[in-house]
Amino acid sequence: MPFFFRINRNIRSIRRYRQVLGVLIKYGFGHFLEQLGIQHYLRRGRRLFRSESADRSVERLTAPERLRLALEELGPTFIKLGQLLSSRPDILSLEYTRELRKLQDRVPSVSIEAIREVIAAEFGRPAEALFAEFSTEPLAAASIAQVHRGRLHSGEEVVIKVRRPQITALIETDIDILEGLANLLERHLGEETIFDPPALVKEFRRTIERELDFNRERHTIDRFRENFAGLDKVYVPRTYPECCGETVLTLEFIDGIKVSEIDLLRQAGYDLPTIAANGADAILEQILVHGLFHGDPHPGNIFILPDNVVCFIDYGMVGRLDQELTYHLAEILTSILQRDIERLVSVLLYSGDLMEDIRRPELKKAVSDFVDDYYEVPLQEIRAGRLLIEFVEILIQFRIPFSPDLMLLSKTLLVMEGIGRQLDPDFNMVVHLKPFMHRLLKEKAAPTNLGREGVRLARAYGALVRSLPDDLKELITRVNRNKFKIDLEHRGLDRLITDLDKSSNRLSFSMLIAALIVGSSLVMQTDKGPLLFGFPALGIMGYSIAAVLGLWLAVGILRSGRL
């Protein structure tokens, strides 16, 4: 029995398995289950799934639309997975990623009594002991958490984010199912995929576990607040640690105007071009200076405060760039903006991420065409977010692995550019981007940085030299003792073995039926034994058994769709 059917065999999990498979079949993804090699188990469990069939009302929809609807019906875990995949065009085609961006994460609110129980369980005290006021109506309700407005006993107005009850158990069960599907996907598709399905699920597990733990989000907000301490054009909400925990997050209430409410901003006397500039500088500093950036800066998550101060809220989704990737990104962007084809190709060819079978002349031609598209474009008309997304599409085309955060970064820049141009038609992200890139490249070439890199390389090579004698000694010892082994892994053979097993079983079945018919025919030529209707009863019994077995075999072959 495969891993998919071994894990979590409790009643709740079995029901959830049935629901997941049923929804996939309902939206026309039964062929996907067949590719994973579980159609045999689905046929065995036909009674469980007999009520599920592809819904004819969705047949007119495209496959990406059907996938989005299926994920929405399956609930929070699969919605979050869809949102992750929407930023991974290296896994799904652009048609799918565009459709998955429409996923809706709105659900009915939880009763105030259930929310109070979560707070009491977290702190061991009722909500009244922590908050002087606590609104009964939520400000927002999503699949993982619900947000209420309140007031502390010290007088500060706050918003309280509370995790929905029982959501953790559901997500754990769903991730178990996804891990099973990922293992089947790897086993049956093998090298047909350019990504590692189990690794993707592990990444997703880490992402959603961080989102479930509000302590992590509080620490992230505190880091953002430290990063922007002393800057008067960006504001990060305060957190209240004494009212925060794993399931509850209490933040300062932000009384501002959403950046999308342009008319209100004008009426209040705000300087819209200054707001656009402050927002661009804030997001670029997050990306290129701190390496920690807001991953979901849509207009509803950005408030404008007096003096054109920009305030980001909701830090549940953030991106991270290490220093090496930040330098690499700055060099790529500089090469593109300077139309330096040779430098850009060189950065890619020596990045260490290329596949062995990379088509280098075709890569150089694609990069040249990409740069030529921007050669005659005035600098003020270049869209940095769109440029980066098109560059990522080249990486996908040539199967060049890249960090998922790079795509999240591209989307973030694209959204911020759109907001900036709504505020200021003359807004140009590249103008704000260039000083940061020059600063980064200058920092990379600084003697202190080169010295640190030299020390790091020296230590790495030193460790290699120290371990080399022991490694060689162990290798030689294993060879001398005939304990040197090479493990070979065969991929994609499970389905072939299953098909061969079915074929041999059918052949054996056919030989058994033929033997019964021949034997019964010989018995019918004699008058021995008891008679039935004037014929030997043993012969009639043999014919009957052969007829039943033959009919069973014929039905099995017809149902498999392979004559």
Same domain (yes/no): 340, 437: yes
Domain stops at, among 445, 467, 485: 445
Assign residue 111 the CATH number of its domain.
3.30.200
Same domain (yes/no): 22, 132: no
Q: Is the pLDDT of residue 407 over 80?
A: no
Ranges of beta strands (E only) in 309-359 are 309-312, 318-320
Same domain (yes/no): 39, 87: yes
Range of the domain at 42: 3-105+178-194
Domain stops at, among 150, 168, 194: 194
The alpha-helical segments, DSSP class H, found in 27-62 are 30-35, 39-44, 46-49
Number of CB atoms found within 10 A of residue 82's CB: 24
CB 433 within 8 A of CB 287: no
Residue 296 annotated in active site? yes
- Region of poorest pLDDT, from 91-100, 126-135, 288-297, 529-538: 529-538
What does the pLDDT average to over 192-219? 84
Q: Provide the residue type at 407 as one letter.
A: M
What's the confidence (pLDDT) of residue 429?
87
pLDDT averaged over the chain? 82
pLDDT tier for residue 7 given thresholds of 50, 70 and 90: very low
Q: Is the pLDDT of residue 45 over 70?
A: no
Same domain (yes/no): 124, 87: no
Does 89 reside within a domain? yes
DSSP 82-101: HHHHTT-TTTS-HHHHHHHT
Tally of domains in the chain: 4
Identify the top-confidence range among 110-119, 184-193, 480-489: 110-119
Distances (CA, A) of 213 to 21, 30, 163, 217: 29, 35, 9, 7
Same domain (yes/no): 168, 285: no
CA-to-CA distance for 208 and 172, rounded, in angstroms? 10
CA-to-CA distance for 36 and 189, rounded, in angstroms? 8
What's the confidence (pLDDT) of residue 9?
46
CA-to-CA distance for 134 and 149, rounded, in angstroms? 6
Does 40 reside within a domain? yes
Identify the top-confidence range among 48-57, 372-381, 442-451: 442-451
Number of CB atoms found within 10 A of residue 456's CB: 10
The tens digit of pLDDT for each residue in 453-464 reads: 788 778 878 888
The tens digit of pLDDT for each residue in 417-428 reads: 889 999 999 898
3-state secondary structure at position 160: strand
Same domain (yes/no): 47, 78: yes
* Phi-psi domain of 307 (left: phi exceeds 0; alpha: psi -120 through 50; beta: other): left
Residue 432, both tokens: 């704000």
What's the confidence (pLDDT) of residue 115?
95
What does the pLDDT average to over 120-142? 93
What's the confidence (pLDDT) of residue 372?
75
What's the confidence (pLDDT) of residue 413?
86
The tens digit of pLDDT for each residue in 160-178 reads: 999 999 899 889 999 988 9
CA-to-CA distance for 429 and 416, rounded, in angstroms? 9
What does the pLDDT average to over 37-61? 56
CA-to-CA distance for 546 and 553, rounded, in angstroms? 10
Does 474 reside within a domain? no
Number of CB atoms found within 10 A of residue 410's CB: 21
Same domain (yes/no): 361, 430: yes
What's the confidence (pLDDT) of residue 44?
46
Backbone angles phi, psi at 392, to 5 degrees: -60, -35
Nearest residue to 134 (alpha-carbon basis) of 167, 157, 107, 118: 157
Cβ neighbourhood burial of 306 (10 Å; 0-12, 13-18, 19+): exposed
pLDDT tier for residue 38 given thresholds of 50, 70 and 90: low
Residue 241, both tokens: 């640690």
Does 520 reside within a domain? yes
Does 31 reside within a domain? yes
Residue 212, both tokens: 């479930």
- Please tell me what DSSP assigns to residue 144: S
Cβ neighbourhood burial of 476 (10 Å; 0-12, 13-18, 19+): exposed
What does the pLDDT average to over 255-273? 95
More confident residue, 50 or 70: 70
Does 478 reside within a domain? no
Nearest residue to 32 (alpha-carbon basis) of 44, 21, 48: 21
90, 296, 314, 405: which is the annotated catalytic residue? 296
Backbone angles phi, psi at 489, to 5 degrees: -110, 125
What does the pLDDT average to over 348-374? 70
The tens digit of pLDDT for each residue in 504-514 reads: 777 887 888 88
Q: Is the pLDDT of residue 309 over 80?
A: yes
Same domain (yes/no): 282, 418: yes
Same domain (yes/no): 185, 284: no
pLDDT tier for residue 114 given thresholds of 50, 70 and 90: very high
pLDDT tier for residue 444 given thresholds of 50, 70 and 90: confident
What does the pLDDT average to over 466-487? 79
What's the confidence (pLDDT) of residue 354?
54
Find where tokens 């799934």 sit: 49
Find where tokens 């260490």 sit: 352
Nearest residue to 84 (alpha-carbon basis) of 101, 70, 99, 67: 101
pLDDT tier for residue 11 given thresholds of 50, 70 and 90: low
Q: Is the pLDDT of residue 408 over 70?
A: yes
What does the pLDDT average to over 241-255? 96
Same domain (yes/no): 343, 414: yes
What's the confidence (pLDDT) of residue 445?
77
The tens digit of pLDDT for each residue in 385-404 reads: 777 778 877 877 777 777 77
| pLDDT above 90 as % of the chain | 29
CA-to-CA distance for 406 and 326, rounded, in angstroms? 10
Number of CB atoms found within 10 A of residue 458's CB: 10
Same domain (yes/no): 9, 119: no
The tens digit of pLDDT for each residue in 64-82 reads: 999 999 999 998 899 989 8
Does 135 reside within a domain? yes
CB 417 within 8 A of CB 429: yes
What's the confidence (pLDDT) of residue 234?
96
Does 459 reside within a domain? no
Residue 384, both tokens: 């940095």
More confident residue, 299 or 475: 299
pTM more than 0.85: no
The tens digit of pLDDT for each residue in 315-337 reads: 988 988 888 888 878 888 888 77
Same domain (yes/no): 272, 404: yes
Domain stops at, among 417, 445, 473: 445
Nearest residue to 405 (alpha-carbon basis) of 291, 300, 299, 281: 291
* Phi-psi domain of 352 (left: phi exceeds 0; alpha: psi -120 through 50; beta: other): left
